[in-house]
């Protein structure tokens, strides 16, 4: 990645995404397996996956309880979201309640952090932001 300003003149870019976790080792292992990114560093209170495309992914230990729905979430793409749902569940993730409407495949990691599995190809959204790629 070059160090050139973007169209607004800023040199800022997203360097890493950090996920708060009561058990960062467990979450790092889950996401490592799911994304094929090995754990490369442990520097308490962090566990880091291999950086890809300039983006780091780390898990930070916290004792603070999760209070509500995520305000930001990952979208991960896959050729077959339904197959990946089964793999997520085998790794300890689950489909949270209340997300049947909308058509998105919303999943939760072992600590309940939500993420969507979306198809690799294009898919349509209606005016309300709903989709039907799951069929």
pLDDT on residue 10? 82
For residues 61 and 19, is the Cβ–Cβ distance under 8 A? no
Instruction: Report the distance separating Cα 48 and Cα 19, nearest Å.
Output: 10
Measure Cα distances from 102 to 11, 68, 88, 105, 132 in Å. 36, 20, 20, 9, 7
pLDDT on residue 94? 96
pLDDT on residue 59? 97
pLDDT on residue 72? 85
pLDDT on residue 101? 67
Parts of the chain with a pLDDT under 70 = 1-6, 101-102, 135
Helix (H, G, I), strand (E, B) or coil at 90: helix
pLDDT on residue 30? 98
DSSP state of 65: P
Q: Name which of 84, 94, 72, 70 is nearest 118 in CA terms.
A: 84
């Amino acid at each position: 990645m070059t160090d050139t300003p973007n169209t607004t003149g800023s040199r800022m870019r997203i360097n890493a995404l950090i996920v708060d976790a009561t058990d960062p080792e467990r979450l790092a292992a889950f996401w490592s397996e799911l994304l094929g990114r090995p754990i490369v560093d442990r520097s308490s209170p962090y566990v880091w996956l291999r950086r890809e495309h300039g983006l780091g992914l780390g898990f930070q230990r916290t004792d603070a309880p999760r209070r509500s729905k995520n305000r930001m979430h990952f979208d991960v793409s896959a050729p077959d979201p339904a197959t990946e749902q089964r793999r997520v569940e085998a790794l300890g993730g689950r489909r949270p309640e209340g997300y049947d409407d909308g058509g998105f495949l919303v999943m939760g990691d072992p600590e309940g952090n939500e993420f969507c599995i979306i198809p690799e190809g294009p898919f349509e959204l209606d005016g309300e932001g709903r989709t039907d790629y799951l069929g």
